[in-house]
Amino acid sequence: MEEKNKSIFSEIISYVFIILLVIVIRVFIFDPVRVDGPSMNVTLEDGQVLILNKIIYRKEDIKRYDIVVVKRDNGEKIVKRVIGLPNETIEIKDNKVYANGKLLDSSFTSSITEDFNLSEVGFEKVPGDSYFVLGDNREVSLDSRVLGPIKKEKILGKANFRIWPLNKIGSVK
Catalytic residues: 39, 80
Rounded to whole angstroms, how far apart are CA atoms 75 and 168?
28
Cα 13 to Cα 17: distance, rounded to the nearest angstrom: 6
3-class SS of residue 140: coil
d(CA 100, CA 89): 5
- DSSP, collapsed to helix, strand or coil, labels residue 169 as coil
Q: Are 133 and 83 in contact (CB under 8 A)?
A: yes
CB atoms within 10 A of CB 49: 16
DSSP 125: S
* Cα–Cα distance, 107 to 103 (Å, whole number): 12
Peptide bond into 42 cis (omega under 30): yes
